[in-house]
């Protein structure tokens, strides 16, 4: 029986079973790899060792302190980096000549691994949380500015002409026309930028730090406590997945808001015009 012949409930049940079997198969393969002797002793600990370390981390106050440091640097850097990127993208969209000059540099730097800028950031901002925030902002900036600039070009010209005919102020043009028209691609780029910000902070913490999840991961690695290394890696994955899920909910809410506005606009009564005799 093909998937097309299944009811929605049966299809969901099949997907659930496939996911469960995938997890069970992964655990079995992990246990086999750990017991096979193909790797150095302790490199792949048992699932029980990883699970015990996972629970221990959740019961340790230091973990939540490091989690806070990583999330704080990621969120603050993401906020400033994305805000600057949105307005920079709109500016590039409004100024085609400026875009033709600057966009090649943005594309070149955007495709460069941002970790090469870490030594410069450490020299400018020091070794504290400021350099991690700067790294998060830099990582978040490029996906958003590129998406905003490309989305602006695709805004129908009639929108811009309508705004100018109503003599809207620059801020009204941004809030009433530009941002709603670019909402979908910009929201998607913001979700990606948040993940990049977290990666940027983790890279900075792994390179040099005295706190944060990246620092915690490297400390356990240096001590060869591999159970805790994998446990922290799983926790980092879960935190990132949760943040990504929250952004997905935000995208869905934005889509529902746009549909409701479109429905309300369609229900507006049309004013009849009477021609004089």
SS (H, E, C) the chain: CCHHHCCHHHHHHHHHHHHHHHHHHHHHHHHHHHHCCCCCCCCCCCHHHHHHHHHHHHCCHHHHHHHHHHHHHHHHHHHHHHHHHHHHHHHHHHCHHHHHHHHHHHHHHHCCCHHHHHHHHHHHHCCCHHHHHHHHHHHHHHHHHHHHHHHHHCCCHHHHHHHHHCCCCHHHHHHHHHHHHCHHHHHHHHHHHHHHHHHHHHHHHHHCCCCCHHHHHHHHHHCCCHHHHHHHHHHHHHHHHHHHHHHHHHHHHHHHHHHHHHHHHHHCCCCCCCCCC
Answer whether 50's CB lies under 8 Å from 227's CB. Answer: yes
For residue 220, the tally of other CB atoms under 10 A from its CB is 20
End-to-end CA distance of the chain: 70
> Mean pLDDT, to the nearest integer, of 64-89?
93
110: left (phi over 0), alpha (psi -120 to 50) or beta: alpha
- 174 pLDDT above the threshold of 80: no
CATH class of 54-256: mainly alpha
Q: Which of 98, 188, 64, 86 is nearest to 137 (CA)?
A: 86
Cα→Cα distances 228→45, 52, 138, 171, 232, Å: 10, 9, 30, 50, 6
Q: Which of 27-41, 63-77, 252-266 has the highest mean pLDDT?
A: 63-77
Q: Which of 236, 164, 149, 159 is nearest to 201 (CA)?
A: 236
Please list, in sequence order, all residues whose beta carbon lies within 8 angstroms of the beta carbon of residue 217, skipping any fewer than 6 positions away.
202, 206, 229, 232, 233, 236
Q: Which of 161-170, 198-207, 264-273 has the highest mean pLDDT?
A: 198-207
pLDDT band at 275 (very low <50, low <70, confident <90, very high): very low
pLDDT band at 277 (very low <50, low <70, confident <90, very high): very low
pLDDT band at 76 (very low <50, low <70, confident <90, very high): very high
**Predicted local confidence at residue 197, as pLDDT:** 93
Residue-wise pLDDT for 77-128, tens only, equals: 999 999 999 989 888 888 888 888 888 888 888 888 888 888 888 888 888 8
Q: Which of 123-127, 186-190, 209-213, 238-242 has the highest mean pLDDT?
A: 238-242
| Phi, psi of 275, rounded to the nearest 5 degrees | -85, 135
- 129 pLDDT above the threshold of 50: yes
- 276 pLDDT above the threshold of 50: no
pTM score over 0.85: no
Higher pLDDT, 164 or 133: 133
- 3 pLDDT above the threshold of 80: no
> Mean pLDDT, to the nearest integer, of 245-271?
68
**Predicted local confidence at residue 75, as pLDDT:** 94
pLDDT band at 46 (very low <50, low <70, confident <90, very high): confident
Q: What is the dihedral of CA 246, 249, 253, 256, to 10 degrees?
A: 170
Please list, in sequence order, all residues whose beta carbon lies within 8 angstroms of the beta carbon of residue 99, skipping any fewer than 6 positions away.
92, 93, 149
- 70 pLDDT above the threshold of 90: yes
- 141 pLDDT above the threshold of 90: yes
């Amino acid at each position: 029986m093909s998937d097309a012949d299944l009811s929605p409930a049966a299809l969901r049940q099949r997907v659930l079973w496939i996911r469960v079997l995938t997890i069970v198969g992964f655990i079995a393969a992990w246990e086999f790899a750990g017991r096979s002797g193909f790797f150095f002793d302790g490199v792949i600990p048992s699932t029980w060792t990883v699970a015990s370390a996972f629970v221990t981390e959740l019961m340790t106050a230091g973990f939540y302190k490091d989690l806070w440091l990583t999330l704080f640097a990621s969120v603050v850097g993401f906020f400033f980096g994305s805000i600057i990127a949105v307005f920079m993208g709109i500016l590039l969209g409004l100024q085609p000549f400026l875009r033709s000059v600057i966009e090649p540099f943005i594309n070149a730097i955007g495709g460069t691994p941002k970790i090469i800028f870490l030594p410069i950031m450490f020299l400018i901002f020091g070794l504290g949380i400021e350099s991690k925030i700067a790294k998060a902002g830099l990582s978040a900036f490029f996906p958003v500015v590129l998406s905003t600039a490309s989305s602006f070009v695709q805004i129908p010209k009639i929108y811009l002409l309508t705004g100018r005919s109503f003599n809207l102020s620059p801020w009204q043009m941004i809030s009433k026309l530009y941002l709603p028209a670019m909402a979908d691609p910009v929201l998607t780029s913001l979700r990606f930028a948040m993940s990049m910000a977290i990666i940027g902070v983790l890279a900075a913490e792994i390179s040099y730090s005295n706190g944060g999840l990246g620092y915690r991961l490297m400390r356990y690695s240096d001590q060869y406590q591999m159970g805790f290394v994998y446990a922290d890696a799983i926790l980092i994955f879960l935190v990132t997945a949760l943040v990504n899920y929250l952004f997905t909910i935000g995208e869905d809410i934005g889509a529902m808001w746009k549909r409701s506005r479109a429905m309300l606009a369609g229900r507006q009564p049309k004013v009849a015009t009477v021609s004089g005799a």
